[in-house]
Structure 1
């Protein structure tokens, strides 16, 4: 959108209305001498008026020049709600009218300043309705800023603050329902925009220094006494405003940062030792002010960066780290750094001096000459031109912001978090659904986002299937559908767990269930029908699960369950829904068979002379049943069927290309037979391992004579084997010795099947021992650990003096684990400290010692 030519008159009109409202306000309308903050704010508007009278076009000015006075009014805690509302309306109008030139070099710094001012808006509260209007204006400005072309220049930190400001309004129960619903809609629009821009972001590089620079989190806050003073916003442990525009030291800011007279309803953030930066800001709730505030009376200041109900409101955690070159994605998605490192990063951010500023507006801020900076220039109109430096340091938001927002939305869906209310879970699911609707196909291109999908998101979705709230259950099913429809090629085991849970829900007894449970059954069956309509899904289920030796027969179990429900007499029309789902399966199979035949024969559209023959082969007769009383349906039905089939082949089946390496029918039959024998052999193995192995040899699953490597892979890949029986089997004498040809034993092949390259010894040991349970006898434990030590020591380039040193350290790790986590051991002895652990291993590395840093890392990992 082109810039309006009368933009300068728009700014003058908004400025006149705002100055008039300031003069008429209750606080500043008295005959007493105005306070210093009033003097500063009014003077900035007088200076802006002078500048605007000297220029003919608004495009000749830096946007910060005419925006700064309005933003200072928004930041000021001395302004009333109506005045702040007018300033917010002005900013919204400037953004909506396109008065900010997106090509101007200072626009990144300008939009940063707008976002900072609006998210930290402070004003004098009067009543709930008036304050709600201001909050509505704040939401309006934040939404317009994010969705405007200039919003793409916001940084990751600013976008996170904007989103959290909206979240706090959503979760503030003291606010009106209308306001909170408006905030939810703003969040949906912003989430939609951010994830729609995902294809524009370059592929992530986990080794880059800019990876994971922000954190988006909410932490619980606590109330403190009103006598406690306000901690400075600019202290080393506080959240510093990241605006890159150099601001003058005003009376408003000074009073805000040093105020010690805290009113009765103030809230102070408690410092979390795990946070790098946190904002400790005093807030007085809106409802503590019942009447307009008089001069020198108590006031309420509202800061969206730290506002809300103390029972559920939480603290913004901003993890800023430039030392993330070696960072990897962790399960919690967060990273903590030392406070001193954060302070150094804060100090490393230079001040913005590359935009035009108005000299009269900042009389208290003298120009500091620096030998290494270019000279400043002030033209005849009083406009200062300074060198452009910091604007290049403001990077637009990108994948980091998307990842942190996605991680935060997933955390809201966690039903195990006691702080997540049902409303939070519902909102989190709704926003995750919005993200998947617009960018589900793009998530697989970014490993960090795909990790969040595979682990925390799928875990939360599976947990929410146990809820009794119908609205959450229905939303959970819809999100699961979007997820598996787009990313099922990456979610094999998660999808298996989902179907297991759905089968469990539908199979539960419904004769004595309450109405809500009946509705849950209905929703589960409807979800199955919806999934079965995905082209090719039925065949995928059969190939990937029923024809996988170690997976559940998902397709078989589903069809059996649906068939059972169809013939059973149940209430609430469950049998009708089961029949619909079963017919959907049959229809999907028939469509797949038809498409395969057409693909093989490559049938072309027949001519007029061939249409009669097609009628006689039965194809036209099938369609004529649907068309009813038409006399000559053969021509019409064939034409319609051909077009629809062609439409489905070119459209719906094109989203996911089928694999080119599909097994033949003979191979599938062989797999199904082998799966039957493996299932029976697994049951026998869990009773008596030797009998199970013999059974598998008799039916050709395992070779005769026994191949140790083959047995080792069977023990590792079969998830249904009893871990205790695995430990007993590999430790038996027959499994420990070498075979007749001098080959490795089963124990040796089992230990050699692991890849420990690059793993610390405690990490490798955890990987090794999670596959079986150690036997109780010390000699057997000795044998198992000896094999492990040999394998780990050789694959890691022999880091210790000898294999015996690796064995001693591995055994010490097991003893440390028992010392730290065994309740009986804790009662008998005091748990070891890190000093005791290091002392006990002195001289165990040949004739020397292990590295103390490595031992300390092992100790803290086990503890």
Structure 2
């Protein structure tokens, strides 16, 4: 049992100059990686969280601890008042004697714990204010009780509770003298806590109290003064308790909770740290100075042991070193929680004795010449991060999944709190970019849903907070998600892409049919990814990945992808940083295609689960983010200088497609590939017509080339000059030959033939010797050495070689070949040892763990030159993104709408249609808007040409005083709930964004045509102007006229006849179908209500706002839908009345008249429609011809005052003049009424002789015909 030094005033502690208020130490210059505290910020008013005085509180805690001690037989009945007798006499000059004081001295030596509290009471009487209370003197008696080992669990627990109360109530604070030493002593005592064991439950309560004290010490205000060593000890203790399976789950969970709270406080500190070595203002590549910085930080840095799981089923106990019995057991937190403790009792005792002596020596040194304590900073944080990361190593079998889960939970909190701050420090950033990401990605392969869920959460947190520094790591992870979630074949496979034709029909086609994205199974296969490693460890030539993931795992992976997509700029960041980077894969396009294809189930693949809805949600989120950026007008009209111009990006993208195509062709046939590259300007001859320089650059920088094919091509004798140029691309200066050869062999795989290998080795040696290496005499020696290195690599790492070459063997083989002399032994030894420990891994040669580790090193190497990840908070690239994504997005939305079983999914799809239409209109992508409208129109069920029954009229019902026609189309449409929704959405987007529509007008007009012929159009759209009867409606069917009388009528024989045509939509009232059922009537009313909701009147309400191109497209579509020339030109007699022709005739004329300022643009389309009808007037229905004549004359009247229209009007009048007599007779009354209105028009142009003559001729013909 170790003795305790008392702390009475006047003792040696008073001589210790270190017991100085923190204020003085705060003004000292802090070391790099440390906090810079401002005294004015830290030293606030000392306030106590209690209404009792501090004096009362401290005495109460002393009584509590001493009372607990007296319950033990060792301290029962002990009076502490005389334990310190003798000190007063010595202070007065008396000599210390023996005699009667020997017994008292013995008691003092045996009971230092009680004496400590007595001394504390005496000291308290000398203190007036709490700010003057020496924190170390206050805490020391309580700390001695904690680490004594002679106390019981309840005593230790009471002392721990007292310390926690001092911290919590603010009795111990930053204003107290010796606060830094006191807090570090507290940390040391708590982490070395020892007490006599009792039952497990009671002991664990003490350990729990100890954890709470550690948490309070670190997270309180006073925790700022803890040293790096103290923090590491505290965290090591907490981690060890988390990992000890012999402890109860309650205690382990409590320890984990404490660790999380402590980690929050530690990583919050990063936000205020400034470091002169590694503080980074902006993302940069890894600096060469990081090694020096690491050495500076490692010098004297604390070290944490990695905790291991204990297999002991009971609470561990050990003998006290000074005990002579074997019955007494005590709990030693430090040793019980230490990993791998296999020392014997004697060894442990010896070790503890040495440690105790070292501690005493250190304490004495501190008393004599104290070193200032520095607040913890970067060294402790880095050590903590290192240990937590090491627990994730999936290949360390001593680490269980429960330990990994604990480490993941703590790390997730650390990055949630300080992820962005971690990225400021390169020494921390490199830990994350290398081992941390590597272990996380390997853990992501697990099938354990609990471990996978937490792993994915940590990955997302890290990627979100440190994206600028993890460009290639994020690419690797996202490609891993896509590969694991994509079936090997079928609809959802990566080989299939979404396509859509002009009619809106969606289909899946093989990607080999798309430019630049060949995905073939031959040697010409080109992966759109970069050369990043495959998490599965498979080589490119054999990517047999098991994708049979469970629905739970699949949903977790998709949730992670959805979580990433919640970052507002996620998709545009992928496009900018990967798709437009020649060295990276097309991650944006891959992601969009994947999400679209997996939004609907593959009949031969995965069944429909929630995962398909997650894919849809992710796509819709991407669309919504673009709409949000459009609405907020980020950087509208200008591109920030920090971003690349969109046109330049598209140029890069186009070049990338050519490179991928060229690489694919090269892998199949180098000759074809090079020819393609030359034709497309990827490989360019120099001034002398030599292509080797450009070709060598392409071969050395294109990751997608097949390394085996490249090696065979370079090894051919006819390509020797190319091989030489290829070798000269590398920088060999200052490197050993094995280091240089390793760099070269990372770019291609050595060919199999020995002659080719020799040719490659010799060429490399010649180029290497050009750098004038000191250790090599001539080029011949360089060639021999190069070939020997290749052989040595095979000898040391080929599993078929049983007897490995030794260093002496290697040196012996090279004896006398260096210009007649031997190579330097140190030079050969360095080569040999490097090759023996680190194989030169040929590309695509290894799989599994070795292959992954090699590829991971390559990824880190590429990360140095790939540039940082750029966050694109701009709308500059949204148009290009939407142009690429609209087909797969629209396909997914349309499928979701078509298969939806609930209103929520329907609402998502409808919102998707609206937003896609809004974006296409905003970006003026007319083909996209047309596709959206065509797709919606096809889902209404109203496009197919359908006529109401000719033989038997549809029944008419009276509902609430209104008459409605119950047609087959009305019934079918009324039953089609999704069709009605599609119709409402279609007309809504057309009404709002109709200016962006071109080809889509035809589908909209077809819907209007079918609604019209089935009496579903609003009555206001059927109103037309008439010269005789004013305003009337277009009839669907003419009434059969009464037999005409033989004699001519004086009052115009056709007037009464034609007026009967303009009555109700039907000819007569008899001969209807059977009465409709209630269900049919209800369906018809649903159809009527839907048409009302479509607000068709607004569609043609204001055509003046439409662009010229839109109006032309609309007029052209009306011509196509309204009048069928083929039917009229058929030799089968006359054509029956077609009300559709009249309807669109009125639409055309109305649009032309309303847009009088653009009549010269619209006149040809209107007149062309009219002339097409009048061309066959003798075969047309009388009503059609009459309405056409009225329309023509209305046009002439409307624009008679325009000088530029006089020739066109005159041409129209001549057409009327040249009518056959029969036609003139049939439409004579309307023609005469129109000519009369034209003559009365206030236009001087009509007084010209040519106009007057033509009008007179028309009147004469009409008169003679009547």
Gap change, CA 1:195 and 1:595, over 3 Å in 2: same
Partner of 1:632: none
Instruction: Give CA deviations for 1:504-549 in whole Å, capped at 9, x if unaligned.
Output: 33324899x9999223333333333333232222222123222334
Q: Does 1:579 align with 2:628?
A: no
How far apart are 1:790 and its partner, in Å? 4.6
Deviation at 1:727, TM superposition (A): 1.6
Q: CA deviation at 1:156?
A: 1.9
The answer as to whether partners of 1:353 and 1:390 remain within 8 angstroms in 2 is no
The Cα RMSD (Å) is 3.8
Aligned to 1:390: 370
Q: Deviation at 1:846?
A: 4.8
Match of 1:505 in 2: 484
Relative to structure 1, the CA distance from residue 50 to residue 664 in structure 2 (aligned partners, 3 Å threshold; closer, same or farther) is: closer
CA contact (8 A) 2:600 2:608 kept: no
Aligned to 1:552: 585
Contact 2:693 2:725 in 1 (8 A): yes
1:90 equivalent to 2:162? Answer: yes
SS of equivalent residue, structure 2 residue 330: coil
CA contact (8 A) 1:105 1:391 kept: no
Q: Once the two structures are superposed, what CA deviation does each residue of 1:727-773 show, in whole Å capped at 9, x if it has no partner?
A: 22222222213xxxxxxxx2222222223445444333322222222
Q: Kindly indicate whether residue 734 of structure 2 is the aligned counterpart of residue 750 of structure 1.
A: no
The yes-or-no answer on 1:680 pairing with 2:661 is yes
Q: Does 1:490 align with 2:469?
A: yes
> 2:598 matched to 1:565?
yes
Partner of residue 182 from structure 1, selected from 237, 254, 261:
254
Per the alignment, residue 69 of structure 2 pairs with 22
Change (3 A) 1:78 1:534: same
SS at match of 1:390: coil
Does the 8 A contact of 2:183 with 2:226 survive in 1? yes
1:246 match: none
Give unmatched runs, 5+ long, in structure 2: 1-44, 79-102, 279-289, 343-353, 492-545, 837-1266
Once residues 132 and 94 of structure 1 are traced to their aligned partners in structure 2, the CA distance between those partners, rounded to angstroms, is: 22
**1:861 and 2:834 aligned:** yes
Offset from partner CA, 1:787-842 (integer Å, 9 cap, x none)? 434544555864554555555444443333233222333x2x3x344454455555
Q: Distance in 2 between matches of 1:770 and 1:259?
A: 63
CA contact (8 A) 2:196 2:331 kept: yes
CA distance in structure 2 between the aligned counterparts of 1:697 and 1:475, rounded to whole angstroms:
50
- Of 175, 184, 190, the residue aligned with 1:112 is 184
Instruction: Tell me the CA shift for residue 430 of structure 1.
Output: 1.8
Say if 2:270 and 2:418, in contact at 8 Å, map to a contact too.
Answer: yes
Q: 1:184: Cα distance to partner? A: 1.2
Matched, 1:733 2:714: no
Q: Kindly state the Cα deviation for residue 121 of structure 1 after the two structures are TM-superposed.
A: 0.8
Equivalent residues of 1:3, 1:101 under 8 A apart = no
Is residue 2:362 matched to residue 1:351? yes
Once residues 159 and 835 of structure 1 are traced to their aligned partners in structure 2, the CA distance between those partners, rounded to angstroms, is: 50
Report matched runs for 1:564-643 at 5 Å.
Answer: 564-568=597-601, 570-595=607-632, 599-601=635-637
Q: 5 Å matches for 1:62-461? A: 62-103=134-175, 106-203=178-275, 204-205=277-278, 206=290, 207-208=292-293, 210-212=296-298, 213-218=301-306, 256-257=320-321, 297-304=327-334, 306-307=336-337, 351-352=362-363, 389-392=369-372, 394-461=373-440
Q: Distance in 1 between matches of 2:793 and 2:297?
A: 34
Residues 114 and 538 of structure 1, relative CA distance in 2, 3 Å threshold: same
2:708 aligns with 724
Q: How does 1:682-701 map to 2 (within 5 A)?
A: 682-701=663-682
Secondary structure of residue in 1 paired with 2:332:
coil
Tell me the secondary structure at the aligned position of residue 677 of structure 1: helix
Q: Which residue of 1 aligns with 2:796?
A: 820
SS at 2:362's partner residue? coil
* Distance in 2 (alpha carbons) for counterparts of 1:514 and 1:567: 18
Q: Secondary structure at the match of 1:21?
A: helix
The 8 Å contact of residues 108 and 115 in structure 2, kept in 1 or not, is answered as no
Verify the 8 A CA contact 1:219 1:315 in the aligned structure 2.
no
| TM-score, length-scaled by structure 1 | 0.70
Instruction: Classify 1:3/1:486 alpha carbon distance in 2 versus 1 (closer, same or farther; 3 Å).
Output: closer
More off after superposition, 191-200 vs 409-418 = 409-418
Gaps of 5+ in 1: 231-254, 264-296, 317-342, 356-385, 603-656, 738-745
Max radius of gyration: which structure? Answer: 2
Pair 558,118 (structure 1): closer, same or farther in 2 beyond 3 Å:
same
- The 5-angstrom pairing of residues 31-42 of structure 1 reads 38-42=110-114
Q: In the aligned structure 1, how far is the partner of 2:388 from the partner of 2:617?
A: 34
Does the CA contact (< 8 Å) of 1:155 and 1:395 recur in 2? Answer: yes
Q: CA deviation at 1:147?
A: 1.0
Provide closer, same or farther for how the CA distance between residues 132 and 26 of structure 1 changes in structure 2, counting only shifts above 3 A.
Answer: farther
CA–CA distance in structure 2, aligned partners of residues 349 and 301 of structure 1: 22
SS at match of 1:142: helix
CA deviation after TM superposition for structure 1 residue 143, in Å: 0.4
Residue 146 (structure 1) shift = 0.7
Does the 8 Å CA contact 1:119/1:305 hold for their aligned counterparts? Answer: no
Residue 61 of structure 1 deviates from its aligned partner by 5.2
CA distance change for structure 1 residues 210 and 549 in 2, over 3 Å: closer, same or farther?
closer
Deviation of the 1:27 alpha carbon:
5.4
Is the aligned partner of 1:2 residue 2:46?
yes
Distance change (3 Å), C-alpha of 1:776 and 1:191: same
Pick aligned residue for 2:576 from 535, 543, 556: 543
Query: Residue 764 of structure 1 aligns with which residue?
Result: 740
Q: Secondary structure at the match of 2:635?
A: helix
Q: Distance in 2 between matches of 1:496 and 1:82?
A: 56
Distance apart, 1:304 and its partner CA: 3.6
1:532–1:538 contact (8 Å) kept in structure 2: yes
Deviation per CA, 1:90-114, whole angstroms, max 9, x where unpaired?
Answer: 2212222333352566433322221
Verify the 8 A CA contact 1:503 1:558 in the aligned structure 2: yes
Report the alpha carbon displacement of residue 849 of structure 1 after superposing the two structures with TM.
5.2
Deviations 1:560-616 (A, max 9, x none): 2222233437433333322222211222233344555x63359xxxxxxxxxxxxxx
Aligned to 1:608: none
Contact kept? 2:775, 2:824, Cα under 8 Å? no
Q: Relative to 1, partners in 2 of residues 1:855 and 1:674: Cα closer, same or farther, differing over 3 Å?
A: same
In structure 1, what is the Cα distance between the partners aligned to 2:243 and 2:144? 27
